[in-house]
Amino acid sequence: MIIGISGMISSGKSTLTTKLLQHYSNSILLEEYSENDEVFTTMLDWFYQKRPNLDLSFQAYVVENHLANVDKAIAKFNEMGLNAKEDFLFLDRFSAEHYVFALVNLKNLPKKVMKAYDALFKALVSQKELPEFVIFLDVTYENFAKRLFARGRKVEIDNYETNKAYFKELYEVYKDAFIKIADAYNIKYAIIDTNNLTEEQVFTKAVKLIKEYKENHA
What amino acid positions are annotated as catalytic residues? Answer: 92
Does the annotation place 147 within a ligand binding site?
A: yes
Name the percent of the chain in helix, strand, coil, to the closest 5. 60, 10, 25
- Measure the CA–CA gap between 200 and 19, rounded to whole angstroms: 9
Does the annotation place 51 within a ligand binding site?
A: no
CB-count burial class (<10 Å; 0-12, 13-18, 19+) for 138: middle
Q: What 8-state DSSP symbol labels residue 35?
A: T
Rounded to a whole number of angstroms, the CA Rg of the chain reads: 17
The number of helices, as runs of H, and strands, as runs of E, in the chain is 9, 5
Question: Using CA of residue 178, residue 133, residue 121, residue 144, what is the dihedral sign?
Answer: positive
Does the annotation place 153 within a ligand binding site?
A: no
- Measure the CA–CA gap between 1 and 210, rounded to whole angstroms: 10
Does the annotation place 34 within a ligand binding site?
A: no
Does the annotation place 146 within a ligand binding site?
A: no
Residue 138 has, within 13 A of its CA and on its CB side, a CA count of 13
Contacts of 12 (CB under 8 A, 6+ apart): 137, 139, 147, 194, 199, 202
Does the annotation place 8 within a ligand binding site?
A: yes
Does the annotation place 149 within a ligand binding site?
A: yes
Does the annotation place 6 within a ligand binding site?
A: no
Which residues are documented as binding site for ATP?
7-15, 147-151
Which residues are documented as binding site?
7-15, 147-151
